Structure 1
Amino acid sequence: MTTHPTVSPRDWDAAREQLLVEEKQLTHARDALAAKRRQMPWLAVEKQYVFDGPEGRASLLDLFEGRRQLIVYRAFFEPGVSGWPDHACVGCSMVGDHVGHLAHLNARDTTLVFASRAPQPDIQRVKARMGWTMPWYTITDDFDADFGVAEWHGTNAFIREGDSVFRTYFVEARGDEALGSTWSYLDMTALGRQETWEDSPEDYPQTPPYEWWNWHDEYAGKAGQG
């Protein structure tokens, strides 16, 4: 390895403070970008989609589990994909390993699911092997083709108004690398983190930061379903 200079504690602190200026700029830029996502127009989902789930057939609306928002990650686990039938692809499996406890997302009225073309028995077997707990559905129609994830992984965000569903955002490729934490998932949604410091439209739900945070086993209501 290249030898780095060794400095005094004072000089090390000065170097860190210098870099911290740029890191804070990046944080503020990321917050501003998330605010722009919350201003994105919505696309109505007019087509009906059907998935196979652990409890049988499910519509896209069913995937919300009664919550306001839905995030769907298209994971490649199916015949012909590297790792089949013992594993999903390596990259999608790494995404699965990074998913935080879903109760925190659920507490913000948001559901996260995975979707693949593998049959449910194979999905349940791999989930058990890998210790994953996220809901995972089988794509049975053109959902993957219609939402940009037929040939590559990607993450779609949706919101519902009653029984009407809208697509609000989409990331793919290296965009998926940043996902996994509660914060990164919420930042890609139409409603965001729903905290008072965010730059959001006036009618968006917001509460003070920290006050809604909880231990994952002590959320009540819809959050507890995760």
Structure 2
Amino acid sequence: MFGPDYTAGCPACSAIADGFDGFVVHLANHDVMLSAVSRAPLSKLQAYKRRMGWTFPWASSHGSDFNFDFDVSFTEEQQREQGIEYNYVREAPLAEIPSRTTADGSVTFAAMSGTDMATYTRERPGMSAFVLDNGVVYHAYSTYARGLDGLWGMYQWLDRAPQGRNETGVWWRRHDEYGQG
């Protein structure tokens, strides 16, 4: 949601967070804790959280391997020379996939996050679930990419609207940016 080299959170991830921010309290009262984790330093996360008016717990994994361990963060070398494996698919090295720069909104989202496309795409969305059982933490579930669609509150509503998603390109903004052109 917020890489260490971003100046603002990812607009797509921010839209997802807008949706889950309100129900965190309901989960907590059902013995489920939701927490976001991003690689940006904690001070950046806290400032952005204040800007967005969010209340959910948000931790920084800056300086750790946490996001790398769950295959949602990648090094420049992996991206440039080896290609990365994300969502159980091996991608070619970045230089070999020029169509990506315009096809999926990465350039637009990178600019909205204050970085370039290569840096932006080294951070990917994912969700993992863990269970604490007798003092031992177990990794119980992970999903990536389109597997996160169910968490996008706005899409659940748009999918049921008369015209559906009715999308043409990147149309959403952070909730505090509508009306700004």
TM range (shorter): 0.5 to 0.7
Distance verdict in 2 for CA 1:76–1:177, change over 3 Å: farther
Aligned positions, number: 103
Q: Which secondary structure state, in structure 1, belongs to the residue aligned with residue 54 of structure 2?
A: coil
Q: For residue 47 of structure 2, what is the aligned residue in structure 1? A: 125
> Whole-Å Cα distance in 1 between the matches of residues 50 and 130 of structure 2?
27
Q: Given the two structures, how large is their TM-score scaled by the length of structure 2?
A: 0.53
Is 1:156 matched up with 2:128?
A: yes
Q: Which amino acid aligns with 1:116?
A: S
2: distance between equivalents of 1:122 and 1:155? Answer: 21
Kindly state the Cα deviation for residue 180 of structure 1 after the two structures are TM-superposed.
5.2
Larger radius of gyration: 1
Q: 2:68 aligns with which of 136, 140, 145?
A: 145
CA offset digits 1:27-66 (Å, max 9, x no partner):
xxxxxxxxxxxxxxxxxxxxxxxxxxxxxxxxxxxxxxxx
Alignment equivalent of 2:17, drawn from 84, 90, 96: 96
**What is the rounded CA distance, in whole Å, between the counterparts of 1:133 and 1:112 in structure 2?**
11
> How far apart are residue 175 of structure 1 and its match?
1.2
- 1 CA distance for matches of 2:2 and 2:46? 15
1:43-122 residue pairs with structure 2 within 5 A? 75-79=1-5, 84-85=6-7, 87-99=8-20, 100-122=22-44
**Take 2:152 and 2:137, find their aligned partners in 1: how far apart are those partners?**
24
Q: Percent identity between the aligned chains?
A: 36
1:178 is matched with: 150
Query: Where is the strand percentage greater, Structure 1 or Structure 2?
Result: 1
CA deviations on 1:135-162 (whole Å, 9 max, x unpaired) are: 1111131111111211421000000113
Q: State the Cα distance separating 1:170 from its structure 2 match.
A: 0.7
**Aligned-residue RMSD, C-alpha:** 1.8
Tell me which residue corresponds to 2:139: 167
| 2:40 partner SS | coil
Q: TM-score, normalized by length of structure 1?
A: 0.43
User: Which deviates more, 167-176 or 141-150?
Assistant: 141-150
Q: 1:160 to 1:180 in 2, by over 3 A?
A: farther
The alpha-carbon deviation at position 112 of structure 1 amounts to 0.5
Q: Which 4+ runs in 1 deviate beyond 2 A?
A: 75-78
Structure 1 SS opposite 2:141: strand
Unaligned runs of 5+ in 1: 1-74, 185-226
Q: Work out the CA distance in 2 between the residues paired with 1:123 and 1:93.
A: 12
Distance 1:167 1:157 in 2: 6
